[in-house]
Structure 1
Amino acid sequence: MKCKIMHESKGRMRVRFCIKRMTVRQADIAEYALSAVIGVTRVQVFERTCDVIIAYTCPREKVIQELSCFSFESEEKISLVPERTGRELNKNYEEKLAAVVIRRYINKLILPQPIRRIIAFIKAAKYIFRGLKCLLKGRLEVSVLDATAIGVSLFRGDFKTAGSVMFLLNVGDILDEWTHRKSIDDLARTMSLGVEQVWTKTADGQEVLVSVNEVRKGDMIVVRTGSMIPLDGKVVSGDAMVNQSSMTGESVPVHKSEGAYVYAGTVVEDGECTVRVENTAGGGRYDRIVKMIEESEKLKSSAEDKASHLADKLVSWSLGGTLLTWLLTRNATKALSILMVDFSCALKLAMPISVLSAMRDCSRFGITVKGGRFLEAVAEADTIVFDKTGTLTHSSPRVAKVIAFGERDEDEMLRLAACLEEHYPHSIANAVVAAASEKGLEHEEFHSSVEYVVAHGISSMVENERVLIGSHHFIIEDENCTEPDDERYNELPEEYSHLYLAIGGEVAAVICIEDPLRKEAAEVISKLHEYGISKVVMMTGDNERTAKAVAEKVGVDEYHAEVLPEDKAAFIRAEHDAGRTVVMIGDGVNDSPALSEADAGIAISTGAAIAREIADITISADDLYALVELKRLSNALMKRIHWNYRTIIGFNGGLIGLGVLGVLPPATSALLHNASTLAIGLKSMTELK
């Protein structure tokens, strides 16, 4: 594809495709194809100008190469695009809304009054039928109020008022449907796999790490504890407990063995399995996510539910007020003024839009939120629990030194450790693998199948000897491995975290991990206190000495050392029993129980797949200031929702009062009511401050 670079800065470029026009489909192909490039972090495509903005961390030459060989006709690129996309959705609703508005004004200008009246009766039939259907089911809801208002207007010969009410109801329905579909689409696409590489098994049984984009139908992939299944397929060997909540909503893991079908986006909680890939791309996963979200109550916050229920409850009061006004005044115009003003439109439209706007604002700061109720939980939270490693510390710790005991070689010990750790993505495991890579130590598979013990370590067999790697608690206390009689072992550097490697029941080496604190951690915790968090807690599997030092540096209110996953979850349950609202932040497999237990679980984007899957919110790993923005936006959302309540009730209540007094005629009341609804809806779409 011939392109022209319009602007460029470090890690970012704006290019223009040298074509006359770009269709929506072509824009989607460009966006999804370029986003699939490893190292490209963000892609924005503007079909009207044929411009593309690309943010990247990979070498610039790689981006240039991808652009130069890019083609809209490539089957491989086309297969990356889901069946439905947000761009296409927006265009469809924009066209639908424009058609309704244009048709309304053309009819008023061209059609004679008798024809317009016939059209009004035809259009009214839909609303009246909807109201009657609701009454037959024994319910008094908003549709009854709409049907009554339109029916009474037509009965009185007030076609102008009836037409205005139906037009504004139609616009409101389109906007409501648009926001609902848009929110579902946004969530479906943000719940993306985030898997760039996968272990494939070759014909001779070797495991090779390759890009997920290189996997083809029929290939064998290996998925282990804590990892996400990247593609649909059938299990050919192994046993695993798979968390399918993102697909089916099931609350407990499902056992998968040979012959079972597994879905992309589900997570292996325990065990491992080899999967034959059956679907490499397409809209199947998107469709399943959409179906799950549509059936899930996660999308709505309690504030949205409250608004919806309140709107329906007010229907009986509006009908009662209309009847009472007519009985007292015998004035149909005054009575009709109450019917023209209902609270439902604004309440049911403004609240979901406010939540969607907040979720959109969050995405600008690298925050993905799976539903409005979690923003509400963050706003109400008074307790926040931090995991230490990869959260308060950097998600990319590094190996400072390797201390080998006996006659063992340090590089050989590091090579063995990397061979085990590469299968279980975690910040410390990644550090070991990276250290081996920097030294050029190749670590092909030379061990049998590995077993991951959550929050403890890894066990495997090498040359008929059991090899263990993990924490001091796991190696020494649980497995009773022999400690070396070596002065260096007794004087391990206190400033490092320690990873123990044992061979044949003896500690063979200790890998010292440098895990520097995030420089912004202390300031972030201070800001969280300012925004209403009264209790900040740090929980870590590290020893008391290391935990205390970190706690003092970052300024947490309390800390707990040498904790297990169940200890974190138990602490959160105890806080709930004390009447507190708790937010948990973590990045590892061991944080999953606590993330699930919290009112809002927050995962770091570079953390384990299962942590991201279980978490309700995911934040960027770049820095912790995203937490401050999340709390600020959540507080601002609740402030906006409360303002919406007061404004809607106050303004519409005033219109009803003026109508009953005869100051405002029904048509004017309807116009002001609907205008205020749209105004509040538009304000709810603005950026939160």
Structure 2
Amino acid sequence: MEKYIMSHKNKIVLVNGILVIVGFGVRFLLQNETLEVWSFILASILGALPIALQAYQAIRVRVVSIDLLVTIAVLGAFAIQDYEESAVVTFFFLFGAYLEQRTLTQTRSAIKELMELVPESALLQIANGKYEEVDVDDVDEGDVLLVKTGAKVPVDGHVLRGEGHINEASITGESLPVTKSIGSEVFAGSILENGTLEIQADKVGEGTTFGKIIELVEEAQDSKSDVERLIDRFAKYYTPIVLLLAVVVWGFTRNLELAITILVLGCPGALVIGIPVSNVSGIGNGARNGILLKGSEVINRFSKVHTMVFDKTGTLTSGNPEVADWQFYGNEKEKKQVFTYLGSIEAESEHPLGKAILNWLGDFDKVPVTETKVVKGGGVTVTVFGRQIAVGNLALMAQTGVTVSSAVKKDAAVFEAKGNSLVSLAMDGKLVLLLGIRDQLRPGVKEVLGQLKELGVKNLVLLSGDNQGTVSLVAKELDLTEAKGNMLPEDKANYIEKLQSQGQVVAFVGDGINDSPSLALSDIGIAMGNGTDIAIETSDIVLINSDFARLPHALGLSKETARNMKENIRIAIVVVLVLLGSLIYSSWMNMTIGMFVHEGSILVVILNGMRLLRYKVKN
């Protein structure tokens, strides 16, 4: 019976409302008091059933809920035979709950829209080279799949054959199609608008970028901030206090109508629902625009940020550096051999500078590399065919006992003046090669930083492992507050701690494994979406597809969401104070009007929160 009543709650609201209308219709049109009274009685009993059941369920877990206050108020109205009041109160309460649930469902539309984009099937290549439609859960890493025009890409992978244009709006928030050809990365949930692609699966199921987005958004929307937890605790104690107050008033005045009116007016519904609806709407807006905000507390902290610290490579720059200058100091006969050794060493590296060197070298015959030792913040030392080789910055050269000549120092200064990062190679204790590698700034990065300043960020700081010359050039071009080079991961973390000790709320933006300590330590860690998994896991905010231009939207949305939460708290408190004040200082306030205003206030805070779904940052 209990299950039946709760599953038909919406139908009960409808019948309850019809009976209330019939009661008033009979009063004014037929003037039949008996029929009027029975219409209100039936409406009251029917409406009270789901409310009383919810109150009972709450009591079983030792919670005095709003439903209990309304249940007692309805019983009280029955006791004084005010059936009109009890009928109207139950209708307003149930109809308000219905509107609340419906609008909250709309605010969670980001998850719903994402789930609708999850592909259900895939065309899998089988043994004879043909393709067979299978459930997407049956696809494994390494499988070869076919994606046709109009189909959703079922997994994360790379293109083996074909060319086409893919809409990646579900991943990046960007509606313009992206051209994909052999070797290009593709993401689950994106849509092939034209062309045909044969792809190989690299990540499947929940491990895909799209799967992680859904998981993170769900976790974020279900999280609670300190303010929400405080309000939950407040409501837990506030509701019994209202009940006790009503009992005390009845004990002193013997006015049961006044007592049950206090129960209705004191319901803290708008206060309890105001914060969650703002939180869910803000996170939903972010998800639609390629931004993952990991919870209400993250939004609150990010809205207070006034110092933003950036890594350079892959953050302010595109992350695709190129060798711009180089100088060879060794024996010309060994030049090819040196390049072969360098390529073989860098082939084992995932560092962006290593990839730039490999692109510059082109084809070479790889040789075995042994005894590899990584020197944090410096480079590597290895052995190749018995020869001791060090590859890294000039600090590594000094650390390994390599003498740097005046000619090398002069060239290094020239390279740095051009904004290059330096990579040197020493063989058997002698420096034989110096490379200058330069990365390009992201398009529009200066304008984005300008927007951040307009949104209230006072300090823009660059911390990088690159040399100070390169870092200073970037800082000057971008008009940054401060820039420090030659920073090891622990140096960055220490610097962030220093800023925090000065009372600054610090956000750090980075993308690499070496950024993870800073991402975790800062008040807000912001990871670029194509960064490492550990950087994304330790961060508070993720910019999907590393779209740096989304950063102002993320900050503006956080500020607006935090402001919206405060507005809803003020609305809820003011409504309760006005209702209680009206009860004391006026003669027109009654239980029906109180419930109408109470439910109206819930709808107001919900609609106010839903405004965040339409938020767009001003350019």
Q: Could you say whether these structures have the same fold, taking a TM-score greater than 0.5 normalized by the shorter chain as the test?
A: yes
| Secondary structure, counterpart of 1:491 in structure 2 | helix
Match of 1:447 in 2: 369
Tell me if the contact between 1:217 and 1:280 (Cα under 8 Å) persists in the aligned partners. Answer: yes
Matched, 1:482 2:402: yes
Matched, 1:657 2:578: no
Displacement of 1:570 after TM fit? 1.5
Match of 2:183 in 1: none
CA deviations 1:392-423 (Å, max 9, x no partner) are 33322222244333236767656654554455
Q: Residue 564 of structure 1 is aligned with which of 456, 468, 488?
A: 488
Tell me if the contact between 1:172 and 1:345 (Cα under 8 Å) persists in the aligned partners. Answer: no
Matched, 1:456 2:383: no
Match of 2:177 in 1: none
Structure 2: segments with no counterpart, 5+ residues:
1-6, 24-37, 119-135, 144-154, 157-200
Match of 1:586 in 2: 510
Match of 1:271 in 2: none
Matched, 1:544 2:468: yes
CA deviations 1:426-458 (Å, max 9, x no partner) are 44344334445xx4x267674358555543334
Change in Cα spacing, 1:590 to 1:187, as seen in structure 2 (3 Å) is: farther
Match of 2:320 in 1: 396
Match of 1:673 in 2: 598
| Secondary structure, counterpart of 2:327 in structure 1 | strand
Distance in structure 1 (CA, Å) of the matches to 2:114 and 2:493: 27
Distance in structure 2 (CA, Å) of the matches to 1:350 and 1:290: 24
Displacement of 1:327 after TM fit? 5.1
Aligned-residue RMSD, C-alpha: 4.5
Distance in structure 1 (CA, Å) of the matches to 2:19 and 2:387: 85
The range that moved more, 151-160 or 100-109, is 100-109
Change in Cα spacing, 1:125 to 1:341, as seen in structure 2 (3 Å) is: same
| Secondary structure, counterpart of 1:607 in structure 2 | coil
Query: Which is higher, the Rg of structure 1 or of structure 2?
Result: 2
Q: How does 1:116-515 map onto structure 2 within 5 Å?
A: 116=43, 118-120=45-47, 122-133=49-60, 137=62, 142=66, 144-153=68-77, 155-156=79-80, 157=83, 158-164=85-91, 166-168=93-95, 170-171=97-98, 174=101, 178=105, 281=205, 299-326=223-250, 330-342=254-266, 344-406=268-330, 407=332, 416-417=341-342, 419-421=344-346, 424-436=349-361, 439=362, 441=363, 446-448=368-370, 452-473=374-395, 475-478=396-399, 480-483=400-403, 487=407, 490-492=410-412, 493-494=415-416, 495=418, 496-515=420-439
Distance in structure 1 (CA, Å) of the matches to 2:78 and 2:428: 89
| Secondary structure, counterpart of 1:537 in structure 2 | strand
- Partner AA of 1:572 in structure 2: I
| Secondary structure, counterpart of 1:685 in structure 2 | helix
Aligned length: 512
Match of 2:31 in 1: none
Tell me if the contact between 2:13 and 2:95 (Cα under 8 Å) persists in the aligned partners. Answer: no
Q: Residue 642 of structure 1 is aligned with which of 526, 549, 566?
A: 566
Displacement of 1:160 after TM fit? 0.9
CA deviations 1:592-618 (Å, max 9, x no partner) are 111100111011223333222211112
| Secondary structure, counterpart of 1:361 in structure 2 | helix
Change in Cα spacing, 1:335 to 1:428, as seen in structure 2 (3 Å) is: farther
Matched, 1:682 2:619: no
Distance in structure 2 (CA, Å) of the matches to 1:177 and 1:155: 35
The range that moved more, 291-300 or 628-637, is 291-300
Distance in structure 1 (CA, Å) of the matches to 2:258 and 2:295: 42
Identify the structure with bigger relative contact order (alpha carbons < 8 Å, sequence gap 6+).
2
Displacement of 1:354 after TM fit? 0.9
What TM-score do the two structures reach when normalised by structure 2? 0.69
CA deviations 1:183-240 (Å, max 9, x no partner) are 88899999x9xxxxxxxxxxxxxxxxxxxx99976989xxxxxxxxx99xxxxxxxxx
The range that moved more, 645-654 or 107-116, is 107-116
Matched, 1:615 2:535: no
- Partner AA of 1:608 in structure 2: T
What TM-score do the two structures reach when normalised by structure 1? 0.63
Displacement of 1:568 after TM fit? 1.4
CA deviations 1:239-292 (Å, max 9, x no partner) are xxxxxxxxxxxxxxxxxxxxxxxxxxxxxxxxxxxxxx9995369999999999
Which structure shows the higher helix fraction? 2
Tell me if the contact between 2:217 and 2:292 (Cα under 8 Å) persists in the aligned partners. Answer: no
Change in Cα spacing, 1:312 to 1:132, as seen in structure 2 (3 Å) is: closer
Displacement of 1:635 after TM fit? 1.5
- Partner AA of 1:309 in structure 2: R
Displacement of 1:180 after TM fit? 9.7
Distance in structure 1 (CA, Å) of the matches to 2:141 and 2:552: 45
Tell me if the contact between 2:17 and 2:91 (Cα under 8 Å) persists in the aligned partners. Answer: no
Displacement of 1:587 after TM fit? 1.8
Instruction: Give identity over the alignment, percent.
Output: 24
Match of 1:249 in 2: none
- Partner AA of 1:470 in structure 2: G
CA deviations 1:367-400 (Å, max 9, x no partner) are 2212221121111122221222222333222222
- Partner AA of 2:397 in structure 1: I
Distance in structure 1 (CA, Å) of the matches to 2:257 and 2:245: 13
Distance in structure 2 (CA, Å) of the matches to 1:645 and 1:657: 18
Distance in structure 1 (CA, Å) of the matches to 2:542 and 2:211: 22
Displacement of 1:330 after TM fit? 4.1
Distance in structure 1 (CA, Å) of the matches to 2:67 and 2:480: 52
| Secondary structure, counterpart of 1:542 in structure 2 | coil
Change in Cα spacing, 1:414 to 1:359, as seen in structure 2 (3 Å) is: farther
Tell me if the contact between 1:378 and 1:631 (Cα under 8 Å) persists in the aligned partners. Answer: yes
Distance in structure 2 (CA, Å) of the matches to 1:564 and 1:612: 20
Structure 1: segments with no counterpart, 5+ residues:
1-94, 193-212, 221-229, 232-276
| Secondary structure, counterpart of 1:403 in structure 2 | strand
Distance in structure 1 (CA, Å) of the matches to 2:489 and 2:388: 25
Tell me if the contact between 1:468 and 1:502 (Cα under 8 Å) persists in the aligned partners. Answer: yes
Tell me if the contact between 2:423 and 2:434 (Cα under 8 Å) persists in the aligned partners. Answer: yes
Tell me if the contact between 2:277 and 2:606 (Cα under 8 Å) persists in the aligned partners. Answer: yes
| Secondary structure, counterpart of 2:69 in structure 1 | helix
Distance in structure 2 (CA, Å) of the matches to 1:375 and 1:549: 33
Change in Cα spacing, 1:284 to 1:631, as seen in structure 2 (3 Å) is: closer
Distance in structure 2 (CA, Å) of the matches to 1:306 and 1:294: 22
Tell me if the contact between 2:471 and 2:483 (Cα under 8 Å) persists in the aligned partners. Answer: yes
Change in Cα spacing, 1:379 to 1:397, as seen in structure 2 (3 Å) is: same
